[in-house]
Amino acid sequence: MSIVLGIESSCDETAAALLRDGRRILASVVSSQVQVHRDYGGVVPELASREHVDNIVLVVEACFKEAARHGYSQGWQGLDAVAATCGPGLMGALLVGMTYAKAVAYAQRIPFLGVNHLQGHIGSIFLDHPQAEIPALSLVASGGHTNLYYLESSGSCRLLARTLDDAAGEALDKLSKLLGLGYPGGPVIDGLAPLGDPQAVRFTLPRIKAASSSGVDAFSFSGLKTAALRHVRLNQLPSLKPQDAEDPSRIGQPLLDLLAGYQKAVVDQLIHRLEQGLSSGREVRAVHLSGGVSCNSELRRRATEHFKSRGIPVYYPRPALTTDNAAMIAAAAFRRLAAGESDPWDLPADPNLKV
């Protein structure tokens, strides 16, 4: 029996989780900074780092209290390892979580492990779906990342496609900011898009070569954002307020149609790349969706329907495991701990860490 304390602080959420034997979540606590960054329409790195400093001790203490309510009584002495996200992410934010995790591990004389944030998302599928088939196409889509991997085994994956510019979640957030609907924009657009006609405002897939010289395909969402801005200006569409999302009658059909068409275009591109990954001749037994955008209801519905005809199941985590959480970090660390691995005290944070 192994207990791993996971710490996640790569961007704008301070999170801690206690995981038993790599599967059972004893406690998972996430402190969001949405209110801090909302007025800026996106994450301000310096503010994010300060919030992590203020919150990390409180979040970890809350995590232990939650675990105690579920029968965990060993406290700090019951830990077998401490893990923290070491990249990719914001440098200052990463350093807060890593420094705290190293200090705890050193004081308790237990192993410290640095975890790749993207590998955490990839592995989050198995917390809810341990039966999920491999080999699989694994799409990680969030506000900071849009990557497609070929997952050959639980410990081996290969990058098939990555974004050239904006991430999928970032593209949704930027349209929401442009229209005045606030931050984060993904959930707002997901809630309003079904009220619009996705065919009324049409966007085209970006014309990108099938693969670069490195053999890695590309996503691109910056052109979609520019096209939406042009549409708003040409049609003189009004600016909105965040509270308007609570009463769609204030928004008007032209804007609802724009939201529907824009969300459809984002999902179109994600499924297009998944289909390309499937048609390449690789053995694919399942499709895995993770990251914040995997909560998008249209993506879940269309991906499930699209691949059902191929006899390929689509898996995605529960909503709490799609955002930046520490349970996925602890789960990834457990697999390394079980293999006898640990990291040195001088392991650096790497904002551009690759899988």
DSSP 131-171: T--SSEEEEEESSS-EEEEEEEETTEEEEEEEESSS-HHHH
**pTM score over 0.75:** yes
Cα(299)–Cα(113) distance, integer angstroms: 33
Contacts (Cβ under 8 Å, ≥6 apart) of 107: none
DSSP secondary-structure letter at 94? H
Q: What is the pLDDT of residue 312?
A: 97
158 Ramachandran zone, left/alpha/beta (phi>0; psi -120 to 50): beta
The answer to whether domain 3-121+322-338 and domain 133-316 are alike in fold is yes
The dihedrals phi and psi of 146, each to the nearest 5 degrees, come to -140, 95
Cα(299)–Cα(290) distance, integer angstroms: 11
Fold of 3-121+322-338: Nucleotidyltransferase; domain 5 (3.30.420)
What are the angstrom distances between the C-alpha of 137 and each of 17, 35, 149, 155, 219? Answer: 27, 34, 6, 14, 15
Contact between 132 and 121 under an 8 Å Cβ cutoff? The reply is no
The β-bridge relationship of strands 146-153 and 136-141 is: antiparallel
The dihedrals phi and psi of 256, each to the nearest 5 degrees, come to -65, -40
CATH class name, domain 133-316: alpha beta
Would you list the domain boundaries of the chain? 3-121+322-338, 133-316
Q: What is the pLDDT of residue 346?
A: 97
Nearest in space to 288 (alpha carbons), one of 276, 310, 298, 303: 303
Helical (H) or strand (E) element with 177: helix 168-179
Nearest 5°: the CA angle 80, 82, 83 is 135
Cα(84)–Cα(330) distance, integer angstroms: 8
Q: What is the pLDDT of residue 210?
A: 54
Number of helical H runs and strand E runs in the chain: 10, 11
Q: Which pLDDT tens digits describe the chain residue by residue (355 residues)? A: 799 999 999 999 999 999 999 999 999 999 998 888 888 878 899 999 999 999 999 999 999 999 999 899 999 999 999 999 999 999 999 999 999 999 999 999 999 999 999 999 999 999 999 999 999 999 999 989 999 999 998 778 999 999 999 999 999 999 999 999 988 899 999 999 999 999 999 999 887 765 554 568 899 999 999 999 999 999 999 989 989 888 988 999 999 999 999 999 999 999 999 999 988 778 999 999 999 999 999 999 999 999 998 999 999 999 999 999 999 999 999 999 999 999 999 999 999 999 8
Q: What is the pLDDT of residue 282?
A: 87
Nearest 5°: the CA angle 166, 171, 174 is 115
